[in-house]
Chain A
Amino acid sequence: MAEVMVPIGPQHPALKEPVNFRIYVEGEKIVRLELDLSYNHRGIEKAAEERNFIRVLPLLERVCGICSHSHATAFVKGIEEIMGLEVPARGQYIRTIIAELERMHSHLLWLGVAAHEIGFNTLLMWTWRDREAVLDTLEEMSGNRVHYNMNEIGGVRLDLSEKQVEAAQQRLPVLEERIAQYVDMVSHQETMLLRFRGVGKLSKEEILKYGTVGPTARASGVDYDVRRDDPYLVYDEVPWNVVTDSSGDVYGRTKVRIGELSESLKIVRHCIENLPGGPIRVTSAPKAAPKGEILSRYEAPRGELAHFIRTNGTDKADRLDIRTPTLANWTSVAKALVNQNLADIPVIVAAIDPCLSCTSRMTVIDTGTMAQGSISWEELVRKCRARYGTEVQP
């Protein structure tokens, strides 16, 4: 049978964000695929370099709607380390609570999306319904359902009141029961088992070779979690476990995420019950950071997130480079898709929980020849300055 090219995206019902796969299939089998990212480059890194440390945080939250707290925390964590700031314990605990609630809402959302990709809309409706409890808690604590804007250099913006803590504590048992339900459903629902088991298999070697991170890696038996291996916030004080699985398929990734749901719940409960008193932020955080470079790592819901920050003694970052977990996971998707069924594309792609617009990278395309390539940083700076007529600084 001849090869047929099936274009998936940039507009396609399976995709929530723009990306393009050109998939070559023989019958229903995928022979190979070409991946085209970056339909939505927003130039956030550059914009971040133009704003001071106070004004940059709401912008960084908008790198990604779902892991907004992750980006802000990764950034403030790096800056605080450069500044040598000691964040008060209560501030760190509040950051951890928000971070883990965010992980819960992200994983619940993912579970629904994964179910939707195989046409199991009922689970989508249920997980998104239960996600409301998490979002309500976040809204009560921060005032917003997604862009919490809780972080600032040296602490958090808002304190948690007794009432908020009580409301959160009341919701936790309900959530715990629901998570137990999902564990039961995922391991017993026939169509989910049929569609998830043995699909998109990646071995441990492949995971390590392609630099895959997060739940995708942990589902293939890679026992790695930044929260444990390079602890930040209060993860070294809280009892919790890294969830891993050895199957390496979509089913394994589902199990890891559901396992992480209950771990997150444990962390939130511990943090809420042991919330220390005291200030939530340092009394006066410095405006400018000394010259330095730092790679700030953070375990976002989708995997390891890295912010490379270079400061130059002013109140702005000289260079910010964001490596989102989706970028690290793309290559593994391209690998996992080959020799699979056409019908498995959505679920394999969804299994890494892609966040496409956060991942967008720039490509240099020669408009004449349509040749793609890359150029050096200096070249880019020179071209930009030539284009916008900005003066070259020494």
Chain B
Amino acid sequence: MSVIREMLRNLVTKPFTILYPYEKAPIPCTFRGEVAIDDDKCIGCSKCSLVCPPQVITMIDGPREVEFKGKSLARKKRPQVKLYKCIRCGLCERHCPTGAIHLKDTLSGCGTDKEAVIM
């Protein structure tokens, strides 16, 4: 009987479905979306590329002066992420000492181009 009761209740209430393109589910602040790199903060320590499970972060040449803990630092390298190979585990964000590499709360989409990169 509880089944019938619930069926009839559902019949008169609004469906649970979220009609995607018109309505969107809220995205939590912890959401792990597209990888982004804040070039001003990156000190080129390579930690992100070391912890990356699918090894999609490579360090490329990017010499630049950066501020770190009040001191000026000459970095040699900066990370480059292969966007569609990234599994968005968040380990780079967790291990980054300056918060330069982080995951945004926007979807990164998907694609077949395994070599597409973000800098």
Binding site for B on A (CB under 8 A): 51, 54-59, 122-123, 126, 129, 132, 139-144, 147, 149, 152, 157-158, 164, 181, 184-185, 188-189
Q: Is B6 an interface residue (CB 8 A)?
A: yes
Q: Cβ of A181: which chain B residues have Cβ within 8 Å of it?
A: 2, 6
Please report the C-alpha to C-alpha distance between residue A177 and residue B7 in the assembled complex, in whole angstroms: 16
Please report the C-alpha to C-alpha distance between residue A141 and residue B28 in the assembled complex, in whole angstroms: 8
A-B contacts, 27 listed (Cβ < 8 Å): A51-B53, A55-B53, A55-B91, A56-B53, A58-B87, A58-B89, A59-B53, A122-B3, A126-B6, A129-B16, A132-B16, A139-B31, A140-B28, A140-B30, A141-B30, A143-B28, A143-B30, A143-B90, A143-B103, A144-B31, A144-B32, A149-B89, A157-B90, A157-B94, A185-B3, A188-B1, A189-B3
Max chain A C-beta neighbours (<10 A), residue from B16, B51, B89:
B89
Across the interface, name the chain B residue whose C-beta is closest to A187.
B2
Per-residue A-contact encoding for B36-52, CB less than 8 Å = 1, 0 else: 00000000000000011
- Cβ A158 vs Cβ B30 within 8 A: yes
Q: Cβ of B95: which chain A residues have Cβ within 8 Å of it?
A: 54
A140-B30, A147-B89, A157-B90 in contact; A122/B52 too (CB < 8 A)?
no
Please report the C-alpha to C-alpha distance between residue A191 and residue B6 in the assembled complex, in whole angstroms: 17
Across the interface, name the chain B residue whose C-beta is closest to A147.
B89
Across the interface, name the chain A residue whose C-beta is closest to B55.
A55
Q: How large is the interface on B (under 10, 10 to 19, 20 to 34, 35 or more residues)?
A: 20 to 34
**Main SS at interface, chain A:** helix
Please report the C-alpha to C-alpha distance between residue A188 and residue B2 in the assembled complex, in whole angstroms: 8
**Main SS at interface, chain B:** loop
A141-B30, A142-B30 in contact; A58/B7 too (CB < 8 A)?
no
| A-B CB pair tally, cutoff 8 Å | 53
A323 to chain B, nearest CB (A): 23
**Cross-chain contact of B31 among A59, A129, A143 (Cβ < 8 A):** A143
Q: Cβ of B90: which chain A residues have Cβ within 8 Å of it?
A: 143, 149, 157
Across the interface, name the chain B residue whose C-beta is closest to A181.
B2
A59-B53, A152-B94 in contact; A122/B87 too (CB < 8 A)?
no
Q: Cβ of A157: which chain B residues have Cβ within 8 Å of it?
A: 90, 94
Q: Cβ of A139: which chain B residues have Cβ within 8 Å of it?
A: 28, 30-31
Q: Cβ of A140: which chain B residues have Cβ within 8 Å of it?
A: 28, 30
Q: Cβ of A56: which chain B residues have Cβ within 8 Å of it?
A: 53
Interface residues of B in 18-76 (CB under 8 A from A): 28, 30-32, 51-53
Please report the C-alpha to C-alpha distance between residue A59 and residue B16 in the assembled complex, in whole angstroms: 34
Q: Cβ of B3: which chain A residues have Cβ within 8 Å of it?
A: 122-123, 185, 189
- Cβ B28 vs Cβ A55 within 8 A: no
Please report the C-alpha to C-alpha distance between residue A181 and residue B6 in the assembled complex, in whole angstroms: 9
Interface residues of B in 85-109 (CB under 8 A from A): 87, 89-91, 94-95, 103
Q: Cβ of B6: which chain A residues have Cβ within 8 Å of it?
A: 126, 181
A231 to chain B, nearest CB (A): 28
A140-B28, A143-B30 in contact; A54/B2 too (CB < 8 A)?
no
B32 to chain A, nearest CB (A): 4
Please report the C-alpha to C-alpha distance between residue A57 and residue B90 in the assembled complex, in whole angstroms: 12
Q: Cβ of A188: which chain B residues have Cβ within 8 Å of it?
A: 1-2
The 9 closest A-B pairs by CB, nearest first: A143-B30, A140-B28, A58-B89, A143-B32, A58-B53, A55-B53, A184-B2, A149-B89, A54-B51
Taking A144-B32, A149-B91 as known contacts, 4 extra A-B pairs with beta carbons closer than 8 A to each other, sorted by chain A number, are A55-B51, A55-B53, A56-B53, A139-B28
Q: Cβ of B1: which chain A residues have Cβ within 8 Å of it?
A: 188
Please report the C-alpha to C-alpha distance between residue A59 and residue B30 in the assembled complex, in whole angstroms: 20
- Cβ B31 vs Cβ A54 within 8 A: no
